[in-house]
Amino acid sequence: MSSLSDSTDAVSPEHIPPAPDVPTSGDDLNELLRDGTRVAFRGSVFIDGQHYPHGEKLADLCEELDLEYKQSVTKSTCDLLVSDDPDAQDTKAELARKYDKPVITSEDFADWAQERLADAGDASVEDQPEPVAQQAEVLPGSGGLEQRNEAPETRLLRAPVVVGAVFILLALTVLVRRRKR
């Protein structure tokens, strides 16, 4: 059983090759950051003024960007490191250099992500059908009551309210009958 202080696991700065030259323009970053790229982060990321710290928020962002969030840099399960300081000497940065993993700045990643999110937003707006104006209509069996066309989710949310109101009415009826006795 090896320990963390085992010399074979340690990364010493003198044995680490320099970081490979990493492109920072959009097209070149698209080559590095393809769908499914496994990305580890050193520090947090700010995109369009929003803070994405380590953990669930950063993992959700990666999922939205079709990337795979990784907690650590390893030889076989990480493709790239996003770092707030590409010249850092901490374990993640040293392992990225040792395993010849590209390291890009948080700022370059944020620019790439912001552009990709904007493109995805434009595409989703274009793909959606034109909104239909909601109209009142008389539904069969509704006794002539007008109701708005609404999404099934809205009707489902209303169901517990109706059940609760019926329960309250029944409870009041029972209380009134008990008082009359």
What pLDDT, on a 0 to 100 scale, did the predictor assign at position 150?
56
Overall number of domains in the chain: 2
Domain around 112: 13-127
Same domain as 106, residue 68: yes
Last residue of a domain, one of 105, 127, 149: 127
Same domain as 57, residue 121: yes
Same domain as 116, residue 41: yes
What pLDDT, on a 0 to 100 scale, did the predictor assign at position 3?
42
Same domain as 37, residue 93: yes
Residue 8 lies in a domain: no
Same domain as 119, residue 148: no
Q: Report the chain's terminal Cα–Cα distance, integer Å.
A: 80
What pLDDT, on a 0 to 100 scale, did the predictor assign at position 85?
87
Residues of the chain with pLDDT under 70: 1-27, 122-159
What pLDDT, on a 0 to 100 scale, did the predictor assign at position 140?
55
Same domain as 142, residue 73: no
Same domain as 19, residue 86: yes
